[in-house]
Amino acid sequence: MTDTPIDKAARATPRRVARVIKGVSDRTIAWIFVAPTIFLLLAINIFPLIWTINLSLTNYRANRVNREVDYIGLRNYERILTDTDIWLSMQATAHFLVWTIVLQVLIGFTLAWLINRKFKGNDLWTTIIVLPMMLSPAVVGNFWTFLYQPQIGLFNYVVSFFSGVDPSSFEMLGSVTLAPWSIVIVDTWMWTPFVMLICLAGLRSIPDYIYEAAEIDRASKWRQFWTITVPMVLPFLMLAVLFRGIENFKMFDLVVQLTGGGPGSITELASINLKREAFEKWRTGYSSAFAIILFVTVFGLASIYVKALNKVKER
């Protein structure tokens, strides 16, 4: 009879320890193993969340520690939900979120579809395309600020070359109508490769025999694309949308570098607004309530989306 690993472990256990754990049930041992993780989770996730909810019901300010803290019920929530500036920042966030996702999905999928075809230099092009997402958002923000500069910026000259308009006649970052699009363009430039990579993984996971069967059945390329490629890549695509959606809902660094929320408050996304309330105005109670509202929004939307994603996977 050969020793199993469990037998070996049992023999290696010191006698004193063995005596202690002899009467302990499997369930208890499982709890002992899981306890550190649960403790960490409670300490760094659950406790701060409960503490934030607690703060959101007060008028606490972190820079006024000597001031008496009053419980003001749901007053902070009421203020936020009736504040037109907050709704404007939510609108700016929605605009940014929707357009970046639409563009990144369309361009990312197209690039993946093209890259998936066998051609010379395939690997080199893949590497070049994924370069932007390897850069720091602060760096990207800074150099796009120069690219958008109306007097010396390359972007304006490129637009001028194709459209014939004077390069210094328009300001991407300073114009109320163009600034929201300028941040969408930069985010799309930076993160489309990420969507492309996920789509590429999806495309490469489709077995060739499915296409071969379709060929035998004389299905057109167009029909193969809509009945094989798209449905089989869809779960991957939905995953990419989930990642980008969550990321862009809390987008901060790139936009701060590019526009600082301006001109005026046109590109002041919810996260920028939240940072200003929390760490510049020091309205800790108010900003905690705002953070909870954002958390519930993201959590709610993500939960609905994940359910939909699971349904798609089951099909």
Partner 1 sequence: MKKQLLALTTASFVVVGAAGHAKAEDLTLCWAAWDPANALVELSKEFEAQSGHNMSFEFVPWPNFADRMLNELNSGGKLCDLLIGDSQWIGGGAENGHYVKLNEFFDANDISMDDFAPATVYAYSTWPKGTPNYYALPAMGDANGWFYRKDWFERDDIRAEFKKATGKELGEPKTQRDLMEIAKFFQGREIDGNTVYGASIFTERGSEGITMGATGALYTFGFKYENTPGKYDMEGAVNSPQAVEGLEFYKELYDCCTPPGYTNSYMSASLDAFKSGQVAMAMNWFAFFPGLYADPVTGGDKIDFFVNPPQYQAGSTLGGQGISVVSYSDKKDAALEYIKWFAQPTVQARWWSLGGYSAHNSVLNDPGFKDSQPFAGDFLVAMQDVQDFWQEPVYAELLLAMQKRLHDYVVAGQGTAKEALDKLIADWTEVFEDEGKL
Give the interface with partner 1 as residue ranges (CB under 8 A).
Answer: 59, 62-66, 85, 149-151, 168, 171, 173-174, 176, 256, 259-266, 276, 279-283
4 vs 151, which CB is nearer to partner 1? 151
How far apart are CB 151 and partner 1 at their closest, in Å? 6
125 vs 170, which CB is nearer to partner 1? 170
54 vs 265, which CB is nearer to partner 1? 265
12 vs 65, which CB is nearer to partner 1? 65
171 vs 187, which CB is nearer to partner 1? 171
How far apart are CB 150 and partner 1 at their closest, in Å? 4
The distance from CA 136 to its chain's CA centroid, rounded to whole angstroms, is 15
44-55 exposure pattern, b = at least 16 Cβ within 10 A, e = fewer = eeeeeeeebeeb
193 vs 261, which CB is nearer to partner 1? 261
260 vs 300, which CB is nearer to partner 1? 260
How far apart are CB 249 and partner 1 at their closest, in Å? 22
How far apart are CB 124 and partner 1 at their closest, in Å? 36
The 10 Å Cβ neighbour count of residue 248 is 23
How far apart are CB 156 and partner 1 at their closest, in Å? 9
73 vs 264, which CB is nearer to partner 1? 264
Is the CA virtual torsion 200, 206, 207, 208 positive or negative?
negative
How far apart are CB 98 and partner 1 at their closest, in Å? 22
How far apart are CB 46 and partner 1 at their closest, in Å? 24
How far apart are CB 42 and partner 1 at their closest, in Å? 25
